A and B are shown apart, each in its own frame.
Chain A
């Protein structure tokens, strides 16, 4: 299985901060990388697909980049509704489609 490692596991930030989360794959996955946001008690929500494509309806302060093994999710100016846990997921080649362990973004 392809292992996905996110860093950091958690971070504290303030409203208006620029936040960057990284995701590293154990082997090259081209751009087969998706990002999700999950709030407590809720299902995950798709933010970014194909490493850098913004899902319809998602605010433009969210962006993704990367190719191969290293990827980043950036929130350009953190808003109160962005405090959540973020997961990357690879969908390269054959299943299983594995997720990172998650990054919890908390209020400083």
Chain B
């Protein structure tokens, strides 16, 4: 059973960089897209971007200028960096696996981690 676990600071100061890592267990990281999705409290889901195990990325244009994703296949991990954060970036951040076939659904999700942007 594939499991994903987010890790990183739960509190980030405004204008600083949010950094999260997702560790994948129970399966190989190779051959899939790995995505980040966020959800502000009481609101809907926003797709942030994804990275393939080759390192190729797709980002949401609304966040593209501030987002960087990376993957470390040797550690079965992938990471998200979001710079110049503001209070609007406060949300639960999910890492997830996105299939490469059919309509590329997201079939496995992490439990989510709350990141609060505040001084």
A residues with a Cβ closer than 8 A to B are: 1, 31-34, 36, 42-46, 49-51, 53, 55, 87, 89, 91, 94-102
Q: Is B109 within 8 A of A87, CB to CB?
A: no
- The chain A residue with its CB closest to the CB of B106 is A46
Cα distance A55–B112 in the bound complex, in angstroms: 21
User: Which of B102, B103, B109 has a CB less than 8 Å from the CB of A43?
Assistant: B109
Cα distance A13–B104 in the bound complex, in angstroms: 31
Cβ contacts under 8 Å, A31 to chain B: 103
Most A CB contacts (10 A, CB to CB) among B50, B58, B104, B112 go to: B104
Q: Is B110 an interface residue (CB 8 A)?
A: yes
B residues with a Cβ closer than 8 A to A are: 44-47, 49-50, 58-62, 94, 96, 102-107, 109-112
Measured CB to CB, the closest approach of chain B to A45, in angstroms, equals 8
Q: Is A95 within 8 A of B44, CB to CB?
A: no
Q: Given the known inter-chain contacts A43-B110, A87-B44, A100-B44, please indicate yes or no for A34 contacting B59, CB distance below 8 A.
A: no
Q: Can you report 14 residue pairs joining A to B where beta carbons are below 8 Å apart?
A: A31-B103, A34-B106, A43-B110, A43-B111, A44-B45, A46-B107, A89-B106, A97-B104, A98-B47, A99-B45, A99-B46, A100-B44, A102-B44, A102-B45
Q: Is A96 within 8 A of B47, CB to CB?
A: yes
Q: Is B102 within 8 A of A49, CB to CB?
A: yes
Cα distance A12–B61 in the bound complex, in angstroms: 36
Q: Given the known inter-chain contacts A43-B109, A43-B112, A44-B109, please indicate yes or no for A91 contacting B44, CB distance below 8 A.
A: no
Having A43-B110, A99-B46, one finds 20 other A-B pairs with CB under 8 Å, namely A1-B61, A31-B103, A34-B106, A36-B106, A43-B94, A44-B94, A44-B106, A46-B106, A55-B107, A87-B45, A89-B105, A91-B103, A91-B104, A91-B105, A94-B58, A95-B47, A95-B60, A96-B62, A97-B47, A100-B44
